[in-house]
Structure 1
């Protein structure tokens, strides 16, 4: 049986001699998250051939060390003669060649990184992002490729790549392969057409999703693309949906996306809308990031960080447009969209880093972005703050032009002028030039204040332009408050362990830090149920003696409580919207101003 399997695996290569670079992977023993890869590279000149695994994958701006899944590497010439090789860095294998003929390499691949959306193999499926699966050579990066999969009985394979038969795909070059992941396994698939384009939706894993509703809503979402762009960068697009055991996230690709949701998190409606917003975000990326992107990433350099100060535009602007697609599609109701805006307001006001770092700076530094306390206290966010700057820019364009121009016009111009497939990319100067061309005046000062420096956001003015306002109470005559410390905590042995302390909060000013274990307030033991409730019994301005452990020492501090609005902010309509406000609202969302 083993010899037969090996023979069949070898046959997958010899039957596709037309391919310049041929990739194959045997997935017939997936139980231990493993597969066997074989690649044949074409004849080239030179004494050595360097093969590489990327150090990161697109959509996640972080060095991931993707080569660590490779083991049992070997190389041979076309005649089967074994070739010596050595690793010259963590991601590069240098092969010593004996001649100039084709070179074949084989290696085992370990794939158990589902949450990274890079590679995952188990007894029900395989998700293969080429950046974490298949090696490449700079010498053949522009050559055409084929991919052959040997899979267990009953598995079905899908990809944005062009089909070349059952479990076989082909692409024009490595860059298309590396941006066209493959989903194979036990799954359910659906097809539809919209805008003269073909779409597939593939579900892996059981969950509380409704396939009919999901496919129908995705069809409504993709129909909104013409509200921004005048054409499509693809003919066929694949949604790959993973119903998982806890991991979540999504990644965009040039012709597809993978979206991971915990299997019972597709319902109720609030969670379902979050899923659809993610799907909308990733679909929009097919233009913004894939069809056009910052010049620092054209082409992608897979062995190192690709630094740019425009990730806020690529990620934050995509986030900004995502829910608007849902509104235009009739999926998200106005009050649900207003709730999302209110969350943005609340997040900005509770994120000290938003006023400490510019979106340009946080874009450049995304490769070293910290987690935990420092992420919110000292850093801005390319998604949240990038979305806010996009909102500021959109409303300014709408107001200046009387609704004739919007941020959508900027993205259509970027799409038309900087096609990444032609090796073109843009920088901040190009974006400002488009803004100046559209409006007839310079945007240098605006850019300096809002992009190159932390943007000062006046939400009242921003919302008023489109007939909306912030409310903390129905009457708005008074804003009730609660006492506030400004910390977050989880239960720990002997008390509550601080997990976050907001910069500028009472707890911050008192000197508390994450990992402090709070044990008592005014001599009374702290429990999980009483941690917040005990403070809610106090008033702003009251002083609390807090007992806590730090470095295993029992200490005490005085904490003077502050105040915070009792209710989260709401975004609601103004009492008497003007005709101008209604008109600008309609040009903003391309949807009618709500009547109730």
Structure 2
């Protein structure tokens, strides 16, 4: 499968795509456009952005075709050995999951606009870009020829976004045998040495946690906008980040660190440690699963914690972000009706919308909160000799590294193995239940000398969540070990 993408009139925001499919033998071929993208568990119906759609044989003769669904076409290919689908895609939105073009930027998420045939998903793909010779390409795919990228199959192709521009800034660093690339497009001049230092620290800390990195290279693809924005999406050996405004200074840098650490953790957790329901992805419909509180909640918990462990954040910076996390759950959703498993399932319904009052919880915010409680429960029982780190290492070794997928029962079994006891209470109250968690959370926060309180001085508005540090030497010692320690198993030393 070969794709050629161009933008002959960038101001129109139209991308022109030629899709070449060869070695045809059947009398008909069905072509499918993805209806959603991994990392965003909602139907986005990318076909709505297709403006013009035509199909030809390899001699340029039009082929008859019929639209079967909103994003599927059946092509008559009797006596035809190859076809070219030629279509335009309207790309007028910039976020971490879209595509966009202007006169100095070509930004592509192939999952938005690349057709496929069901029985050809495992075949190699090439993606050719019609761009000026002086433009750079930032992408996790291998570049096999000028302006041409190669993917081992369609799954790799659509998991590798790209930025092409003459204005890219490129910063590199290495940790062990992995080379990391920071690509930045936007009107900022970063402190290169600070970026390299801080990214190296949190990358190394995450690799120490798991013991190894899944890829030989990794790319932070970053678009900086003049307007306020915060969005990141994980991919196989890259992440797509869109941030702004470009004049926010230290706030923008903190956002960049936070989203980058979060997305890098996904390189293990969900890219490789993946729910079995998502293996392989079915791009035509909803892929329901109940463990997004693991995929996103655990990742959200570790994203900022890793920055503190790596000494990129100090205590004050970390607890500021920690309080924001607690506020986002307890102020609007602390008494919502849904459980975390229901919220995971219903991401496909309204997981990214505000929704009706007191109905749903966030797999990100509540998921991170209950991950914290599980971590502190294990640490308290085992005096920090075991922790959630051990859970994630086992999940990597048993499910991520062999890439076989895990179920909710698998995750529960691993957590109970590490805890050394049944966790019926935890799953009943925190995962399957919907009870308010303030009292239970405060029991665990007290172990690390912290407490969640509500500021009720303003009786008109919703009480604000405050994170308070207790004057408790034992709590301070436990907090120090929780924030600073990654215990390494003998096999990893």
Secondary structure of the residue aligned to 1:115 is coil
Secondary structure of the residue aligned to 1:426 is coil
Secondary structure of the residue aligned to 1:127 is strand
Q: Give CA-to-partner distance per residue, 1:480-508, whole Å, 9 cap, x none.
A: 7123144xxxxxxxxxxxxxxxxxxxxxx
- 2:340–2:366 contact (8 Å) kept in structure 1: yes
- 2:244–2:252 contact (8 Å) kept in structure 1: no
After superposition, where does 1:221-370 map in structure 2 within 5 Å?
221-246=202-227, 247-264=229-246, 266-268=248-250, 270-352=251-333, 354-369=335-350
- 1:288–1:314 contact (8 Å) kept in structure 2: yes
TM-score (norm 1): 0.76
1:262–1:393: structure 2 CA closer, same or farther, 3 Å change rule?
same
1:484 matches 2:460: yes
Residue 180 of structure 2 is matched in structure 1 by 199
Q: Give CA-to-partner distance per residue, 1:433-479, whole Å, 9 cap, x none.
A: 1123333332233212210012524333222112333578xxxxxx7
Q: CA deviation at 1:322?
A: 0.5
Query: Which stretch of structure 1 is more off in the superposition, 112-121 or 296-305?
Result: 112-121
After superposition, where does 1:14-93 map in structure 2 within 5 Å?
21-93=1-73
- 2:96–2:240 contact (8 Å) kept in structure 1: no
Match for 1:577 among 469, 473, 488? Answer: 473
- 1:159–1:182 contact (8 Å) kept in structure 2: yes
Q: CA deviation at 1:44?
A: 3.5
Match for 1:402 among 377, 383, 393? Answer: 383
Distance in 1, matches of 2:212 and 2:461, equals 52
Q: Give CA-to-partner distance per residue, 1:319-376, whole Å, 9 cap, x none.
A: 1000111112211111221222223333333124544221111111111126776456
1:100–1:88: structure 2 CA closer, same or farther, 3 Å change rule?
same
Secondary structure of the residue aligned to 2:116 is coil
Q: CA deviation at 1:275?
A: 2.3
- 1:143–1:172 contact (8 Å) kept in structure 2: yes
1:164 matches 2:144: yes
1:350–1:141: structure 2 CA closer, same or farther, 3 Å change rule?
same
1:129–1:347: structure 2 CA closer, same or farther, 3 Å change rule?
closer
- 2:99–2:107 contact (8 Å) kept in structure 1: yes
Residue 393 of structure 1 is matched in structure 2 by 374
Secondary structure of the residue aligned to 2:473 is coil
Distance in 1, matches of 2:141 and 2:124, equals 12
- 2:172–2:182 contact (8 Å) kept in structure 1: yes
Distance in 1, matches of 2:426 and 2:180, equals 40
1:448–1:470: structure 2 CA closer, same or farther, 3 Å change rule?
closer
1:460 matches 2:442: yes
Distance in 2, matches of 1:266 and 1:191, equals 24
Q: Give CA-to-partner distance per residue, 1:195-230, whole Å, 9 cap, x none.
A: 211111111111364344333322222111234212
- 1:354–1:381 contact (8 Å) kept in structure 2: no
TM-score (norm 2): 0.91
1:372–1:104: structure 2 CA closer, same or farther, 3 Å change rule?
closer
1:75–1:346: structure 2 CA closer, same or farther, 3 Å change rule?
closer
- 1:432–1:444 contact (8 Å) kept in structure 2: no
Q: CA deviation at 1:420?
A: 7.9
Residue 489 of structure 2 is matched in structure 1 by none
Distance in 2, matches of 1:283 and 1:309, equals 22
- 2:175–2:203 contact (8 Å) kept in structure 1: yes
Q: Count the aligned residue pairs.
A: 482
Q: Give CA-to-partner distance per residue, 1:384-435, whole Å, 9 cap, x none.
A: 101011111111111122212111111111212223874x211111111112
Match for 1:113 among 93, 96, 105? Answer: 93
Match for 1:417 among 386, 391, 398? Answer: 398
Query: Which stretch of structure 1 is more off in the superposition, 330-339 or 463-472?
Result: 463-472
1:378 matches 2:359: yes
5+ unaligned residues in a row in structure 1: which ranges?
1-20, 473-478, 487-563
Query: Which stretch of structure 1 is more off in the superposition, 74-83 or 190-199?
Result: 74-83
1:242–1:112: structure 2 CA closer, same or farther, 3 Å change rule?
same
Distance in 2, matches of 1:471 and 1:334, equals 19
Distance in 2, matches of 1:460 and 1:248, equals 30
Runs of 4+ off more than 4 Å? 370-373
Distance in 1, matches of 2:89 and 2:485, equals 50
5+ unaligned residues in a row in structure 2: which ranges?
487-493
Secondary structure of the residue aligned to 1:35 is strand
Query: Which stretch of structure 1 is more off in the superposition, 233-242 or 158-167?
Result: 158-167
1:167–1:361: structure 2 CA closer, same or farther, 3 Å change rule?
same
1:43–1:354: structure 2 CA closer, same or farther, 3 Å change rule?
farther
Secondary structure of the residue aligned to 1:220 is helix
Q: CA deviation at 1:71?
A: 3.1
1:103–1:239: structure 2 CA closer, same or farther, 3 Å change rule?
same
- 1:207–1:266 contact (8 Å) kept in structure 2: no
1:461–1:147: structure 2 CA closer, same or farther, 3 Å change rule?
same
1:154 matches 2:154: no
Which structure has the higher relative contact order (CA within 8 Å, separation 6+)? 2
Secondary structure of the residue aligned to 1:382 is coil
Q: CA deviation at 1:28?
A: 4.2
